[in-house]
Amino acid sequence: MDSIQDKVEKTLASLPPILIPNSIPIKSLNSSSSSSPPVLLVRPRIFTSQDNQKLNELITLINLAYTDAYWFKKPIFYDRMNMDRLLSSSYLKNESGFFIIITKEKEEGKGKGKENENDDKQVQSIVDNSNQESPNYLIASAYVSLNIKESSATLSLLSVHPEWQGKGLAKTLFQLIETHILKNTFQIQYSRLEVVSVQTHLFQIYEKFGYQKVNQQLQWKDIGIDPDSCISVPCHLEILQKELLK
């Protein structure tokens, strides 16, 4: 009998690749001779044990997406995810959970990463060490945790590389997960998000995706985070929900 991960892999393998606008690294903007195609075909896939050599790259991608997480005290501000946390958590051990990743083939002669306008050297260090010298580097990821019994799923750690933000990649990834994996493959009725209460701009974005606040909140201690030592401003997690099967 196929596992949840096996079913997801088969679903993703059956889908056509996604067409997205190509990203031109900042260092190449002033170059008049760019061979980068205007669009790019990418194919989302599940993160498997064969990708273990990319664990550091996955961690870097997640941290890049959270460099503005001012509600975390330093050094967590720069360290939303690290190897110990990833390996000791349920992310890679949960039989009902999986990372969906999108990779891009490295182009010869391109820059290593987006120059961050923030003068903070720690943030710039994260960007500069985003491991884009590998033949294929990660440009987006999201974690999906299924609860088949309750017919619900939680999406978290949505991460898009700074060079690829603003191209509709997050929305495309959401739609793929909701439609082809949650709805069609597992007949999941509710998709849920956990959003930090001070990220007010995200509520508007996710509302456009069809998500609404529900009368439920999570405190940091509920997910194993000590607010006194880790959180810099009063905040909590709001639960957003979208009904997939009506």
Examine residue 15 and state whether it is found in any structural domain, yes or no: yes
Examine residue 31 and state whether it is found in any structural domain, yes or no: no
Neighbours of 185 (CB within 10 A): 17
Examine residue 154 and state whether it is found in any structural domain, yes or no: yes
Identify the pLDDT of residue 101.
Answer: 93
Examine residue 151 and state whether it is found in any structural domain, yes or no: yes
Query: Which stretches of the chain drop beneath a pLDDT of 50?
Result: 25-33, 107-134
Percent with pLDDT over 90 in the chain: 46
pTM of the full predicted structure?
Answer: 0.80
Identify the pLDDT of residue 105.
Answer: 61
Give the model confidence (pLDDT) of 82-93 as tens digits.
Answer: 777 777 777 887
Distance CA 246, CA 240 (A): 17
CATH for 211: 3.40.630.30
Angle at which helices 121-128 and 55-65 pack, to 10 degrees? 140
Examine residue 12 and state whether it is found in any structural domain, yes or no: yes
Q: Return all residues near 115 (Cβ < 8 A) that are at least 6 apart.
A: 26, 27, 127
Examine residue 11 and state whether it is found in any structural domain, yes or no: yes
Distance CA 66, CA 55 (A): 17
Examine residue 216 and state whether it is found in any structural domain, yes or no: yes
| Mean pLDDT rounded to a whole number for the chain | 81
Identify the pLDDT of residue 191.
Answer: 97
Q: Which domain holds residue 175?
A: 4-26+36-243
The number of folded domains in the chain is 1
Give the model confidence (pLDDT) of 21-72 as tens digits.
Answer: 776 543 433 444 455 567 778 889 999 888 888 888 898 898 888 888 888 8
Cα-flanking dihedrals φ and ψ of residue 190, to 5°? -125, 130
Identify the pLDDT of residue 182.
Answer: 97
